[in-house]
Amino acid sequence: MREIVFDTETTGLDWREDRVIELGGIELVNRFPTGRTFHRYINPQGRQINPEAQAVHGISMADLDGKPTFPDIAAEFLEFIDGAHLIAHNASFDINFLNAEFGRLGHPEVEQTRVIDTLAIAKRKHPMGPNSLDALCRRYGVDNSHRTKHGALLDSELLAEVYIELIGGKQAALSLDTFVASAETIEIATVEITVRQRPVPLAPRISEIEFEAHAALVKEIGEKAVWMKLAEGNRA
């Protein structure tokens, strides 16, 4: 099973007018990172960045000077996500922006059946919240200390770890240098173990004084002592 965990950064909040200016994602196969990633900064073709949006992601117009436009990177991104389920946090936001960009190019929209929204999963699993990406990182012990601003690739990496936890627990360390082995590369060795009795029994760990003290305690408790039942079981 192939999945792409992805994120976007945009010039603002209105997908009808604003543009994607950063796009990042990482590939998972059977819930393991393959090391394959996608990351591009994108020139918004004249659309200015809303100051409130810039305060969140820290990307300025100067940062995007000379960067490719969305039409320049669309084919490469489509190849990267081809055939995969798409995973995002508050996925409708990112998918609306992607479909708006694809619509300007006359390309079909991304089907909703391909999209998995981790925010929806988190709300079902933790109805009392909070369920922001930062909050989920804290809940699941995912280190997000280096996340001072939103960033498409960094947020994708963090979300991949959170996603694995949300669907049932960590399967493997989600570092991008994880090696994914195929069945042909794994050799299973058979080891024969012979169990022999010790020639000299180990010395008891309980001293004679401790043994006598325990026996006195059991006698004081009486026949209802659990140790009495254990002794009867050993005699049976």
Using DSSP, state whether 4 is helix, strand or coil: strand
DSSP 153: H
Choosing from 57, 107, 126, 150, the catalytic residue is 150
Bridge partners of 33, per DSSP, are 28
Bridge partners of 40, per DSSP, are 23
Q: 89 catalytic, yes or no?
A: no
Amino acid identity of residue 216, one-letter, is A
- 114 phi and psi, to 5 degrees? -90, -10
Angle between helical axes of 70-81 and 91-104 (0-180°, round to 10): 120
Nearest residue to 156 via CA among 141, 139, 142, 170: 142
Q: Give me the DSSP letters along 33-71.
A: EEEEEEEEE-B-TTPPPPHHHHHHH---TGGGTTPPBHH
Active-site positions? 150
